Amino acid sequence: MSLPRHALVTGGSSGIGKAIAQRLASAGHSVTICGRDSARLQEAAKDLSDHGAPVTSLIADVSDPRQVRELVRQAVETNGPIGILVNNAGRNGGGKTAELTDELWRDVLSTNLDSVFYVTREVLARGGIHEVDHGRIINIASTAGKQGVLLAAPYSASKHGVVGFTKAVGKELAPQGIAMNAVCPGYVETPMASRVRQAYAGAWDTTEAEVLSAFEAKIPLGRYSTPDEVASLVEYLTTEGAASITAQALNVCGGLGNF
């Protein structure tokens, strides 16, 4: 059973974030999605609404703490106290470590890790989550947050940080009745997944199709997970039945990682 609450989903305009918004809105929650690209955000909001999952959309760069403060203020003003926070916004990024630029390193860490801290802090301080029964914070990490990924040091470092942050803050919030977990997707077929394959194809001087075959060969199920499969676990973690699950990092990866 899932009590209706206000859910804020960052990076909700495509891929996993959009699938999560669809699931939570369909479950009866009021959903606010945010993103940096106005056109993509509006398109996602219209598509979700057309499929019976109306959402509120707000433009925000969650790697900027000033924009995060305004995002949370507007979200609460529009849909009330935030009872569910899904920190999903993220980006890929990597290459040979000796050739990584300061700008790439900083942007990956800022987008993937700093944003999780900024939004979580703001929701705890001013988002009203303490006023809501069964508050939930769910951070979208990665199996790359549990193991190193070749040519993806910035991404792996950022996602390891998300897992560590989740475990620490999850313990802090448990006595207050707020459950906090990380969901760790493996290979998921999203627009970002295609960009990742293109990057590896360039690094390995091969084709994207060959990279896809190599990646699928590593997955025991033999295929990428879907955004909806990730969203399904997120939805479950918002239910009353998941109340005792907290400070965990749970994989959705087709058996790619069993740690």
Could you state, in order of their start, the residue ranges of all structural domains in the chain? 6-186+226-250, 188-224
Residues 6+ apart with CB under 8 A from 62: 10, 11, 34, 68, 71, 87, 89, 111, 115, 118, 119
Task: Specify the pLDDT at position 194.
Answer: 86
Distance between CA atoms of residues 199 and 65, nearest Å: 30
214, two tokens: 């190599």
Burial 33-71, CB ≥16 within 10 A → b, else e: bbbbeeebbeebbeebeeeebebbbbebbbbbeebbbeb
Rounded to a whole number, what is the distance in angstroms from the first to the last CA of the chain? 28
Quote the strand ranges of 23-154, DSSP E.
30-35, 56-59, 82-87, 136-140
Supply φ then ψ for residue 37, to 5 degrees: -100, 110
CATH code of the domain occupying 6-186+226-250: 3.40.50.720
Task: Specify the pLDDT at position 232.
Answer: 98
224 catalytic per annotation: no
SS3 content of the chain, % helix, strand, coil (to 5): 55, 15, 30
Q: Of 66, 108, 74, which Cα lies nearest the Cα of 90? A: 108
Task: Specify the pLDDT at position 195.
Answer: 87
> Which pTM value belongs to this model?
0.95
SS3 for 186?
coil
The catalytic residue among 155, 187, 200, 224 is 155
- Whether the CB-CB separation of 12 and 234 falls below 8 Å is answered with no
- Whether the CB-CB separation of 220 and 234 falls below 8 Å is answered with no
Output the tens digit of pLDDT for each of the chain's 259 residues: 668 999 999 999 999 999 999 999 999 999 999 999 999 999 999 999 999 999 999 999 999 999 999 999 999 999 999 999 999 999 999 999 999 999 999 999 999 999 999 999 999 999 999 999 999 999 999 999 999 999 999 999 999 999 999 999 999 999 999 999 999 999 999 888 888 899 899 999 999 999 999 999 999 999 999 999 999 999 999 999 999 999 999 999 999 988 8
162, two tokens: 């998300």
Distance between CA atoms of residues 72 and 95, nearest Å: 34
Name the residue type at position 72: V
- Whether the CB-CB separation of 152 and 94 falls below 8 Å is answered with yes
Distance between CA atoms of residues 139 and 86, nearest Å: 6
